[in-house]
Amino acid sequence: MPLEKETLISTEDYLNGELTSKIKHELIDGYIYAMAGTSKNHERISVNISREFGIHLKNSPCEPFGSDMKVKVDSNFFYPDVMVVCDDKTDNEYYTESPVIIVEVLSKSTRKTDETTKRINYLNIPSLQEYVLIEQDFVDIEVARKSEDWKSTHYFLSDEIKFESIDLTLSVEEIYYRVQNDDVIAFLQNKEPEQSVNY
């Protein structure tokens, strides 16, 4: 995540700049960082999660947001891949401060930030109940839950995941629907034909 400007920027200037910028930026400790584009597999996972969350949360007070919605943590701003907000008291149309679950899809360029800087910031959000990290190049889903003192649990193909914050259970296979990596391809090839999902 390359540094965009080497001078400190105010929150007001950052938010105003994001309204007209063609590239999304995150604000971390007063510096802005340009966000890179995503791969097809990254987008497939994000869309799968968003779709399943949206269907499940229809007619509920909770709603999912995609990667164009910012989350504010103290004076920092991030663009999670997916998050769910149930009780948004933020008086701003362009960011929230109260997600109950945040999902990040990992890539080589974002892994360090997602696992360190973002994790530290996200776990300080009072409303947050779960932080989810999903690998795109192989199958591994890490879920850290506040109810378990943020201890991580890993899930793989053939597993199911209970997202406690929104009372939803999904299979790992559903989350990786249409994803093309060696783990998913091998898993599908080993399944009985009548059980296979049409990819």
| Interval 88-109 mean pLDDT | 94
So where are the chain's domains? 39-195
* Residue 199 reports pLDDT greater than 60: no
What does the DSSP 8-state code read for residue 152? E
Contact 72, 98 (CB under 8 A): no
Summary mean pLDDT of the chain: 93
Single-letter amino acid code for the residue at 137:
D
| Alpha carbon distance 167, 174 (integer Å) | 16
Q: Report the CATH fold assignment for 39-195.
A: tt1808, chain A (3.90.1570)
Average pLDDT over residues 26-51: 95
CA-based Rg of the chain, rounded to a whole angstrom? 17
Q: What is the average pLDDT across 89-113?
A: 93
Partners of 49 in the β-ladder = none
**pTM of the entire predicted model:** 0.91
